[in-house]
Amino acid sequence: MVEPDPKTGTPPRLLLRRRSIYLLPNLFTTGVLFGGFFAIVQAMNGRFEIAAIAIYVAMVLDGLDGRVARWTHTQSEFGAEYDSLADMVAFGAAPALVAYEWALRDLGKLGWIAAFVYCAGTALRLARFNTNIEVVDRRYFQGLPCPAAAAVVAGLVWVASDFGWEVGALLRTVAWGVTIFAGATMVSNMPFYSFKDINFKKRVPFWGILALVAALSVVSWRPSAVLFLAAISFALSGYVLWSMGHRVKRVEH
């Protein structure tokens, strides 16, 4: 006969079951973590375009892990914590280090300060999101989401590498400003539309499919430029919504 645990009274088999993790959603989260790690390694080797693309791939995987967990009913506290840690690497440390190795290094102290401001902004943004997730209006994000901020910083690196722009004084200044802007916007109170109230299971008219095809065609024309412009537009949209009087409201329970 198996003796129960003396502290909880729970048999060991049940304890083991409770401590196990769901494989499928955490595979996607591991992909996010790997994308960030891979981006850092590529930046250290001077392959900045590949590093930026790796961050964008991590963004796609990050958008899937939560949805997969909900669709398969495999949400867990472990998954939520693991997701935040992976996000910190992929969308915090990786973009900061890629930008630093690419353009900010030659700015001296100003360069690493900008990279640190972005990295710290990501950590603060994730901490605030985790503590406010149940008490704020789900229609809006409070501050720029860290994947979108990573898309802005990595997008600049990608588009500059893709178009062959020389990293001179002007581009370093732009990179510094973009990095500071992304880091500060993450910890701001600007409202950003979350798209969480869109029902993807709902039927759509035929022109909706045509619009999706057209959007994919535009992206395939020049992915670096189109995705960077989309990221910048979203990053500025919060300021537009704020100027129109929109605010992130707390939900009363």
Flag whether 123 is in a domain: yes
pLDDT band of 69, cuts 50, 70, 90: confident
Report the range of poorest mean pLDDT among 57-61, 122-126, 154-158, 243-247: 243-247
Show contacts of 218-226: CB within 8 Å, 24+ apart: 222/162, 224/52, 224/155, 224/158, 224/159, 224/161, 224/162, 224/163, 225/159, 225/162, 225/163
- Give the per-residue pLDDT at 7: 57
Q: The domain containing residue 150 runs over which residues?
A: 19-243
As a whole-number percent, the residues of the chain with pLDDT over 70 amount to: 86
Residue corresponding to tokens 């409202």: 191
Q: Please tell me what DSSP assigns to residue 106.
A: G
Residue corresponding to tokens 């605030």: 128
In this prediction, residues 228-236 reach a mean pLDDT of 96
Flag whether 228 is in a domain: yes
Give helix 109-132 / helix 146-163 axis angle, nearest 10°. 140
Alpha-carbon span 113 to 96, nearest angstrom: 10
In this prediction, residues 210-234 reach a mean pLDDT of 89
In this prediction, residues 86-109 reach a mean pLDDT of 97
Residue corresponding to tokens 């964008």: 56
Q: Please tell me what DSSP assigns to residue 136.
A: B
Alpha-carbon span 92 to 42, nearest angstrom: 16
CB 42 within 8 A of CB 102: no
Flag whether 10 is in a domain: no
- Give the per-residue pLDDT at 1: 46
Model confidence at 58: pLDDT above 70? yes
Torsion 145-151-157-160 (CA) sign: negative
- Give the per-residue pLDDT at 130: 86
Model confidence at 17: pLDDT above 50? no
Q: Please tell me what DSSP assigns to residue 73.
A: T
Report the range of poorest mean pLDDT among 23-37, 41-55, 121-135, 188-202: 188-202
Q: How many domains does the chain have?
A: 1
- Give the per-residue pLDDT at 180: 98
| 191 φ, ψ (degrees, to nearest 5) | -85, 130
Flag whether 127 is in a domain: yes
Identify the CATH number of the domain in which residue 37 sits.
1.20.120.1760
Residues paired with 136 in a beta bridge = 250
Model confidence at 120: pLDDT above 70? yes
Flag whether 249 is in a domain: no
Residue corresponding to tokens 């645990």: 5
State the average pLDDT for the chain: 87
Flag whether 6 is in a domain: no
CB 67 within 8 A of CB 54: no
Flag whether 211 is in a domain: yes
Flag whether 229 is in a domain: yes
- Give the per-residue pLDDT at 8: 56
Instruction: Please give the helix or strand (H or E) that residue 244 lies within, else none.
Output: none
pTM to 2 decimal places: 0.86
Query: Higher confidence at residue 221 or residue 89?
Result: 89
